[in-house]
């Protein structure tokens, strides 16, 4: 299901920052008016903000495709104060200490190695939770995107479609030559396959920017499934 967001902003550049033991991709989508949207800040929040400032950009907001640590660990006070957008379902899981502690113990400790740093990070999230805006049914978030709910990797994974600029950001749902895991808490194989089926029905010319790996197209990824 799609939710239409304000359209018409022309993308000037998509900056990709790849870091961490999982080689996660953080995207800074730069528009011609010098504004930008941050997608999935994985590591080094201060470095991300320095890049934005050094390039004379204005951060309009941050979107999380899902709530896994390798896509949120760079969140800091300044990023939170600029508002963060994510699905209602994944926000609820993120704010559940049992879920988030389990995810940290499973793999998050590879990204935030010091447990005290994790506690500080999570305390910030909990204290600033009102700055995390939920993507609801018929909800509107930032310029340029349509939001597509694609659960399966997590219960509330989303993809961000900008058909004016012929791009889609798919998080860990669809990769170049593959797709995301479904064996972590909240994952489900059958649900993920349904989400992939919906994605692969999109226009074939769309460029796909995923949470890991290189850029691909819907046309190329169809070859792996049909």
| 96-113 per-position pLDDT tens digit | 999 999 999 998 899 898
Tell me the average pLDDT across 100-127: 92
Number of domains observed in the structure of the chain: 1
CATH number of 90's domain: 3.60.15.10
Question: Which residue has 């649900």 as its token pair?
Answer: 191
Residue 226's pLDDT is what? 60
pLDDT band at 5 (very low <50, low <70, confident <90, very high): very low
Structural domain boundaries, residue 145: 2-222
pLDDT band at 15 (very low <50, low <70, confident <90, very high): very high
Tell me the average pLDDT across 3-24: 79
CA distance 114 to 119: 9
Query: DSSP 3-state assignment of 168?
Result: strand
Q: CA dist 47 to 12, 69, 119, 143, 223, Å?
A: 21, 17, 21, 24, 37
Say if strands 11-19 and 216-217 run parallel, antiparallel, or are unpaired: unpaired
CA distance 158 to 78: 23
Residue 8's pLDDT is what? 59
CA distance 226 to 201: 11
Instruction: Please give the biggest Cα pair distance in the chain.
Output: 47
Q: What does the pLDDT look like over 35-93, one tens digit per residue? A: 999 999 998 899 999 999 999 999 999 999 999 999 999 999 999 988 899 999 999 99
Please state whether 162 falls in left (phi above 0), alpha (psi between -120 and 50) or beta. Answer: beta
Helices (H), the chain: 45-54, 77-81, 88-94, 97-106, 115-127, 189-199, 218-222
Q: Which residue has the higher pLDDT, 23 or 135?
A: 23
- Residue 177 is classified by DSSP as T
What is the per-residue burial (b if ≥16 Cβ within 10 Å, else e) of 192-220? beebbebbbebeeebebbbbbbeebbbee
67: Cβ contacts below 8 Å, ≥ 6 apart: 86, 90, 91, 93, 94, 103, 154, 156
């Amino acid at each position: 299901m799609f939710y239409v967001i304000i359209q018409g902003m022309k993308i000037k550049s998509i900056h990709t920052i790849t870091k961490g033991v999982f080689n996660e991709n953080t995207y800074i989508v730069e528009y011609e008016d010098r504004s930008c949207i941050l997608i999935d800040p994985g590591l080094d929040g201060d470095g991300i903000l320095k890049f934005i400032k050094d390039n004379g950009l204005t951060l309009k907001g941050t979107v999380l495709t899902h709530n896994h640590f390798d896509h949120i660990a760079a969140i800091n006070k300044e990023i939170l104060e600029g508002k963060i957008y994510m699905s209602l379902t994944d926000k609820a899981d993120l704010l559940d200490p049992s879920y988030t502690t389990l995810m940290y113990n499973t793999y998050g400790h590879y990204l935030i190695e010091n447990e005290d740093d994790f506690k500080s990070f999570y305390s910030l999230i909990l204290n600033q939770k009102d700055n995390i805006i939920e993507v609801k049914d018929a909800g509107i978030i930032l310029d340029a995107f349509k939001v597509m709910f694609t659960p399966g990797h997590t219960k509330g994974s989303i993809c961000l479609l900008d058909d004016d600029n012929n791009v889609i950001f798919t998080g860990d749902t669809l990769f170049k030559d593959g797709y995301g895991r479904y064996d972590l808490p909240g994952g489900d194989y059958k649900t993920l396959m349904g989400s992939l089926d919906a994605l692969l029905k999109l226009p074939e010319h769309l460029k796909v920017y995923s949470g890991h790996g290189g850029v691909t197209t819907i046309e190329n990824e169809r070859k792996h499934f049909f």
